[in-house]
Amino acid sequence: MPQGTDNKLIKSAHKSIKYTKEEILHLKECMDRSTGPLYFMSRFMYIQHPVRGRLLFDPYDYQVELVENYHENRFSINMCGRQMGKTTVAAGYLLWYAMFIPDSAILIAAHKYQGAAEIMQRVRYAYESVPDFIRPGVINYNRNSMDFDNGSRIQSATTTDNTGRGMSLSLIYCDEFAFVQPRVAQEFWTSLSPTLATGGKCIITSTPNSDDDQFASIWREANNTIDEHGDHQKLGRNGFSGYKVTWQEHPDRDDEWAKGERSRVGEERFRREHLCEFIIYDETLIDPLKLVGLKGREPVLRTGEVRWFKKPTKGGIYLVGLDPSLGTGGNNAAIEVYDGATMEQVAEWQHNKSPVKRQLKIMQDILLYIAKETDYKEGTHLETEIYWSVENNTLGEAALTVIEYTGEENFPGQMINQPKAGSAARRFRKGFTTTAKTKIAMCSMLKNLVESDKIKIYSNNLVRELKNFVAHGLKFQAKLGESDDLVAATLLVLRISHHLAKYDDRIHERMAQNAADDDPGFELPLPLGLI
């Protein structure tokens, strides 16, 4: 008998089996590297239902998609609501992998011993229900490990900073990774990297916890599928495929269930545990609950690297702002385009390896395209208006030089400049200079616009930046490792609109009630250090 048990429900190692033709067909289907997991789980895997007892596993649609995300991707991260059957799916897939991919070393890493034990218990229950012609024999059969006679092994452990270190793993399954202590999770992930780099497969599942833990970081990167040109890729920048399952996908749950659960656990917990929302703990510029609801959309068209969310039409007031960069692979240069009459985002561009001259060429092309599509003619009083500017801090000086060399008249529309301060004799710089004071003022305007639904943001990239735009000391800026260049370009557009509101009736009508200095009841969203 195998070591560790005298359980008669298991198959002895190297046991001879005579197969019928039907059994051979079933075995071949289970062994299929493409469709095998779902075939095996839906025909030979039994589960313990909490109410109905022993049942053949009949996966819901979302559980099928969960298995597919596990199987079709080397790296997958899966955010699942509570009590959605993710543990059952994991147990079935890990068992299939061990049974039909010989010599596999599989590690289950759970944030608590209880979690690791539960997954192993479900693996054992499923294995004991499988007929002998399907399953391999076992050599070792313990609470925390199973060794099969095909050379495969499943082992479970609590996630620590040393878990998996030095092991040659075929597959690692990380359960409830968001709840691993942050320091431990970071050390664990660092130690795991060499294993993954040599060909190992990784599956991560969890309900969300904090918005800045290791799970959240991997999830964000997995969902950052936009490359440096703004094009969508199949996988995230970290090579992971992300999949989310919320309570609405469970066929046995309805609005009445949700109402009762909300009443029982509270709104915040419900949104985190059942809607899989990262309830942001940082002091973000925009209210966290408002940020959760911000959803971008795909561009309606592209002109080169420029993403257009709304095609320019006659009658718009187009505001174009450029936040320049070095163009050497560091921070992004960014351009934002809004309709000042409606505060709808029209277009955007960003790139981190475009020299300043090319950044201005991109902006010029945007202005030319708007002019062409709207029949804009300089010096006429048609319905369409075009205004543009650049931030003139540091690198902005180079941008102003390019504008002067190219000729301002070759940029359709009117360049808007910061009003002169002091006497007329004072040196005048074109564009806008960003100071701590002006940035706070424009942040205030942006906050008010977003939270009052008076600005329409369509860019997924900008939404992402806003979710990571937080108080840092006495100012707002991107979290470490994130960017805020699109936010900066949007703030520049707001400065243009705020300036024009004094002269343009349509912009004034739109912006007067939103600008901080026009709303006597409005309070600046200052960082805590300034309050």
Q: Considering only CA atoms, which of 219, 153, 514 is closest in space to residue 340?
A: 514
**In the prediction, which pLDDT does 159 show?**
87
What pLDDT, on the 0 to 100 scale, is given for residue 282?
A: 64
Please name every residue paired with 432 in a beta bridge, in sequence order, or none if there are none: 391
Nearest-angstrom CA–CA distance, 173 and 97:
12
The beta-strand segments (E) located in 208-343 are: 241-245, 301-303, 306-308, 317-323, 333-339
Token pair for 49: 């239902």
Structure tokens belonging to residue 29? 């289907």
The one-character DSSP state at 420 is P
pTM of the model: 0.57
Segment 391-406, tens digit of pLDDT: 988 766 788 889 988 8
Residues linked to residue 138 through DSSP beta bridges, in sequence order: 12, 148
Within a 10 A sphere around the Cβ of 509, how many other Cβ atoms? 11
In 3-state terms, what secondary structure has residue 83? Answer: coil
CB 80 within 8 A of CB 241: no
Query: What are the b/e assignments for 6-40, b being 16+ CB within 10 Å?
Result: eeeebbebeeeeeeeeeeeebeeebeeeeebbbbb
Superfamily of domain covering 21-244 = P-loop containing nucleotide triphosphate hydrolases (3.40.50.300)
Give me the architecture of the 301-530 domain, per CATH: 2-Layer Sandwich (3.30)
Q: What is the identity of the amino acid at 474?
A: L
Question: Do 359 and 396 touch, CB atoms closer than 8 A?
Answer: no
Q: How far apart are CA 84 and CA 353, in angstroms?
A: 44
From first to last of its 531 residues, the chain has per-residue pLDDT tens of 444 444 568 888 888 888 899 999 999 999 999 999 999 999 999 998 877 888 999 999 999 999 999 999 999 999 999 999 999 999 999 999 999 999 999 999 998 888 888 999 999 999 999 999 999 999 999 888 999 999 999 999 888 877 777 678 899 999 999 888 877 887 888 877 777 777 889 999 999 987 767 888 899 889 888 766 667 788 888 889 999 999 999 999 999 999 999 999 888 789 889 999 887 656 789 987 788 788 889 999 999 999 999 999 998 899 999 999 887 667 889 999 999 989 999 999 999 888 999 999 999 999 999 999 998 877 655 678 999 999 988 766 788 889 988 888 899 999 999 877 654 444 567 889 988 889 999 999 999 999 999 999 999 899 989 988 888 777 899 877 678 999 999 999 999 998 888 776 666 665 554 544 444 343 434 343 332
- Asked if 152 and 101 touch (Cβ cutoff 8 Å), the reply is yes
Q: Compute how many other C-beta atoms are within 10 angstroms of the C-beta atom of residue 266.
A: 11
Tell the residue number behind the tokens 């890493």, with chain if given: 109
Q: Which of 176, 104, 111, 90 is nearest to 146 (CA)?
A: 104
User: Alpha-carbon distance 150 to 136, whole Å?
Assistant: 7
Bridge partners of 203, per DSSP, are 76, 173
Q: What confidence score (pLDDT) does residue 62 get?
A: 95
d(CA 65, CA 76): 12
pLDDT value of residue 24: 92
The string of pLDDT tens digits covering residues 342-357 is 999 999 999 988 899 9
CA distance 391 to 216: 33
Domains of the chain by residue range: 21-244, 246-279, 301-530
Q: Please give the Cα distance from 168 to 157 (Å, whole number).
A: 15
- First and final CA of the chain: distance in angstroms? 72
CB 432 within 8 A of CB 494: no
What gap in Å lies between CA 298 and CA 232, rounded to an integer? 10
Beta-bridge mates of residue 147: 140, 153
